[in-house]
Amino acid sequence: MAEPKNAPRVPVEERLFSLVLALLATESGLTKNEILSTVQGYRQRYRTGGDNVNLERQFERDKDDIRDLGVPLETTEAPDQPGNNHSLRYRIPRGSYELPADITFSNEETTLLNLAAMVWREGSLSGESRRALMKLRSLGVESDEPVLGYAPRLRSREAAFDPLSVALERHSIVRFRYLKPGESEARVRTLAPLALVQHQGRWHVHGIDQDVADKRTFLLSRIVGSVQPTGESFTDDGGDHAANALAELDAIWANGVGVLEVAPGTDAAARLARRKGSAVTGENQLTLHYSDMNLLADELAGYGPEVLVLSPPWLRDAVRARLEQTAAAHGRPVPAGEHEQGADEQTVEDRSTNEQGKERDHG
Amino acid sequence: MVDRPAPLQAQDKLAFLLALVPYLMDHGRVSVAEAAAHFRVKPEALRRAVRLIAVSGVPGATSSYQHGDLFDIAWDDFEDNDQIVLTHMVAIDDSPRFSAREAAALIAGLQYLSALPENIDRDAIGALMAKLARGSSASPTQVAVSGSESDETLGLVREAVAAGRRVEFDYRTSRGDSERRRVDPLRIESIDQDWYVRGWDAGRGAVRTFRLDRMSDLAVTDDAIVRHPGDVALPDALFEPSDEDLTVRIEVAEAALPLLGDYLTEDAPTRPSASRPGWVETSLRVAHFHGLKRLAAGMPGVLTVLEPQEARDAVAEWAAAGAARYRTL
């Protein structure tokens, strides 16, 4: 549109690289106009005295891309013209860009970090891990032979993970729809995210719920639809939020106790007995811990006739109801009159401040 | 699901350039082959990056990218001998810091690893995490993983893998039958809290994947393994579809679709459900209906098997048998 025609195409990485070089080299900073008119990749499309709206938008996006890589791009106002956007100066301070010279990694440490990065090879944070390894290799340290005998991996299949991890880094307040157990419709929550934690294999986001001005923990798998930034940001008080969230989830887990009868010699008997915290408390009887009754009910329903829940009553009813629902959905409705009246469903939230409950009721 | 490297984005390419320059500065002279191997990229990708660096620089005093404002390399060495020598440098002196999320990814990865039954020095891991935090351009974002349960079986299998010994164990399949298996363990894998060992099953004469929590009475034998990790191709994906798999048509709530990742085939035709808004119709591949009935009963209210009828019946029977246990008390 407003850009000169026939401008030579400069690859994106060349423009970004040139921008970083220019901003590293300047002591006093460059104004946006100086950047757009002189830096490789912008200057070819710059119209002197003309409309450069598209180019300015490009620059805004490039700034975000560069910051995402951990490049500290600073903005300073001209002391004589505060508030004037056109006199803002941009630079990358060398001291906060460069890895401190005393930080070095041994071969052994490099090997460990390679393995740590490999943990994320599937999906979320795989890009971050890959780029972190690139920076590590920049130091020239070779890692020992990759550990072939081991391939541990973490993964997050929830679509909410990526936008939440970005919001964590930028300290931005986000909004999402969350389906609480027992509610038929998802409700909008506004959260200042403080930490992402995986507990018992499930991802949670911990943060300050803006509506109640208090800390809450949400299961990522119950977030419905997309996570949207509100445009507002917050200041992190610097606490050890991840450790606090995990400790809280551990406490809930320790409190939740279920007693089951398991058929001997079955998959359920073998696997449930091997779980962390499980104990055999009688003939074919097992006691286990859980942090979320609804997720446990789903899981136990999967074992079909191999498991009979003895207590608590609401877990018993929840598993029974799920099995009847599945049977009916596959053409075998439960005979009428045989359904016993169950106790009210109780969720974790009744016993703590946590937002936990039924997971898979989005449908 | 098959792991495949994502194509390099512009951001990755920029990170590569910013990492490559200090490496080249430190090395004085290095061959394209060596540098490519170090960064684990193809030689041609490395050559392309070097060519770009060699013509890049800063606008300089004249704002016109004069010769002295640009990087330069020994072109003859590069073009004729595939050797890289930086002869002029601008702007960059050192390696870049990690971003807050990059540091967080590595720190969480280390946390996860530190739960392994290895002789990993916890203090060394702690020191390494602190170093990452100090080497990142902002405080690492808080991503944490609670330690997974590392039981005795995992430790024994790990020993067997390290020593190259065959193991024996009773293994219960999802069909419900149990059998003594003799296996050359090749690799231990995990997904979040679940642990698997992949190995050469001597009885079956094929590579198999075993869940650790279905193994019992594990013994590490004195027999050396006959198949070694280099001999056998281990595909990246834990669950490989096989020609003998059964295809099952299902209806599933869209929100629950990601939970089926391992069962969905790449080319499974997926279409919105005709009768239920927010649901989709798609296909799964399963080895047998025993696994399917457990999967379907564990996703109540969000997954319905449509066909074949035998599959529907298997799920219905399983769930009804489970529900029936509550009527007898």
pLDDT of B221: 93
CA B301 → CA A204, A325, A345, B250, distances in Å?
Answer: 23, 7, 17, 13
pLDDT of A43: 93
Q: Between chains, do B162 and A149 touch, taking CB under 8 Å as contact?
A: yes
pLDDT of A225: 85
Residues B129 and B188 occupy one common structural domain: no
Q: Between chains, do A140 and B316 touch, taking CB under 8 Å as contact?
A: no
User: At B204, which CATH number?
Assistant: 2.30.30
**Averaged pLDDT for residues A225-238:** 91
How large is the greatest C-alpha to C-alpha distance in chain A, in angstroms? 87
Kindly indicate the confidence band of residue A360, based on its pLDDT and cuts at 50, 70 and 90: very low
**Averaged pLDDT for residues A253-259:** 93
pLDDT per residue of chain B (329 residues) written in tens, 0 to 9: 333 344 568 889 999 999 999 999 999 999 999 999 999 999 999 999 999 999 999 998 888 898 889 999 999 999 999 999 999 999 999 999 999 999 999 999 998 888 776 656 778 888 999 999 999 998 888 998 886 666 778 888 888 988 889 999 999 876 778 889 999 998 888 887 788 899 999 988 888 889 888 888 899 999 988 887 777 777 766 666 677 788 899 998 887 777 776 677 667 778 888 888 888 999 888 888 888 999 999 999 889 999 899 999 999 999 999 999 998 65
The CATH class that applies to domain A12-97 reads: mainly alpha
**By C-alpha distance, which of B8, B70, B309, B115 is closest to A154?**
B115
- Rounded to the nearest angstrom, the minimum Cα separation between A107 and chain B is 12
Nearest chain B residue to A333 by CA distance is B320
- Rounded to the nearest angstrom, the minimum Cα separation between A317 and chain B is 9
**Averaged pLDDT for residues A218-232:** 91
- Rounded to the nearest angstrom, the minimum Cα separation between A144 and chain B is 12
- Show residues of chain A in contact with B191, CB under 8 Å: 153, 155
Q: Is residue B235 part of a domain?
A: no
Kindly indicate the confidence band of residue A66, based on its pLDDT and cuts at 50, 70 and 90: very high
- pLDDT (tens digit per residue) in A285-305: 999 999 889 889 999 999 999
Q: Which residues does residue B144 pair with via DSSP β-bridges, in sequence order? A: A197
Contact present, B59 and B65 (Cβ < 8 Å): yes
Residues B257 and B289 occupy one common structural domain: yes
3-class SS of residue A122: coil
- CA–CA separation, A362 vs B253, rounded Å? 7
Domain with CATH 3.30.70 in chain A: 256-335
Q: Between chains, do A245 and B144 touch, taking CB under 8 Å as contact?
A: yes
Range among A176-180, A181-185, B45-49, B203-207 with highest mean pLDDT value: B45-49
Residues B253 and B274 occupy one common structural domain: yes
Cα atoms in the 13 Å half-sphere on the side-chain side of B284:
29
CA A134 → CA A60, A128, B4, B105, B133, distances in Å?
Answer: 25, 10, 18, 14, 17
Structure tokens at A216: 């809450």
- Contacts for B220-224 with beta carbons within 8 Å, 24 or more apart? B220/B156, B220/B159, B220/B160, B220/B163, B220/B165, B220/B166, B220/B167, B221/B165, B221/B166, B221/B167, B221/B168, B221/B182, B222/B165, B223/B165, B223/B166, B224/B164, B224/B165, B224/B166
Nearest chain B residue to A151 by CA distance is B189
* Tally of structural domains, chain B: 4
Q: Is residue B80 part of a domain?
A: yes
Structure tokens at B149: 């349960």
**By C-alpha distance, which of B133, B103, B139, B141 is closest to A166?**
B141
Q: What percent of chain B is modeled with pLDDT above 90? A: 46
Q: Is residue B4 part of a domain?
A: no
Q: Between chains, do A135 and B322 touch, taking CB under 8 Å as contact?
A: no
Kindly indicate the confidence band of residue A159, based on its pLDDT and cuts at 50, 70 and 90: confident
- Show residues of chain A in contact with B177, CB under 8 Å: none
**CA angle B326-A333-B268, nearest 5°?**
110
- Rounded to the nearest angstrom, the minimum Cα separation between A136 and chain B is 8
C-beta neighbour count of A280 within 10 angstroms: 12
Residues B137 and B161 occupy one common structural domain: no
Q: Between chains, do B23 and A138 touch, taking CB under 8 Å as contact?
A: yes
Residues B79 and B109 occupy one common structural domain: no
**Averaged pLDDT for residues A254-272:** 91
Strand A30-31 and strand A89-91: the pairing is antiparallel
Where does a domain end: B88, B107, B131? B88
Contact present, A19 and A26 (Cβ < 8 Å): no
- Show residues of chain A in contact with B133, CB under 8 Å: none
Contact present, B67 and A46 (Cβ < 8 Å): no
- Helices B289-297 and B309-324 cross at an angle (nearest 10°) of 50
Kindly indicate the confidence band of residue A133, based on its pLDDT and cuts at 50, 70 and 90: very high
- pLDDT (tens digit per residue) in B265-315: 667 778 888 888 888 999 888 888 888 999 999 999 889 999 899 999 999
Strand A285-289 and strand A279-282: the pairing is antiparallel
pLDDT of A146: 55
Q: Between chains, do B109 and A129 touch, taking CB under 8 Å as contact?
A: yes
- pLDDT (tens digit per residue) in B226-257: 887 777 777 766 666 677 788 899 998 887 77
**pLDDT of A347 over the 60 cut:** no
Q: Is residue B266 part of a domain?
A: yes
Torsion sign, CA atoms A242, A201, A300, B297: positive
User: At B67, which CATH number?
Assistant: 1.10.10
Residues B143 and B156 occupy one common structural domain: no
Q: Is the ipTM of this complex over 0.90?
A: no
Domain with CATH 1.10.10 in chain A: 12-97
pLDDT of A349: 36
pLDDT of A214: 94
Q: Is residue B261 part of a domain?
A: yes
First to last CA, chain A: 46
- CA–CA separation, A326 vs A333, rounded Å? 9
Where does a domain end: B130, B147, B164? B147
- Residue A293 Rama label (left phi>0; alpha psi -120 to 50; beta): alpha
- Minimum mean pLDDT among A224-228, A342-346, B11-15, B51-55: which range? A342-346
Q: Can you give the residue range of the structural domain that contains B73?
A: 10-88
**pLDDT of A96 over the 70 cut:** yes
- Architecture of A256-335 per CATH? 2-Layer Sandwich (3.30)
Domain with CATH 2.30.30 in chain A: 161-239
pLDDT of B187: 86
The CATH class that applies to domain A161-239 reads: mainly beta
**By C-alpha distance, which of B255, B12, B135, B101 is closest to A167?**
B101
User: At B313, which CATH number?
Assistant: 3.30.70
- pLDDT (tens digit per residue) in A328-341: 999 988 775 555 44
- Rounded to the nearest angstrom, the minimum Cα separation between A358 and chain B is 11
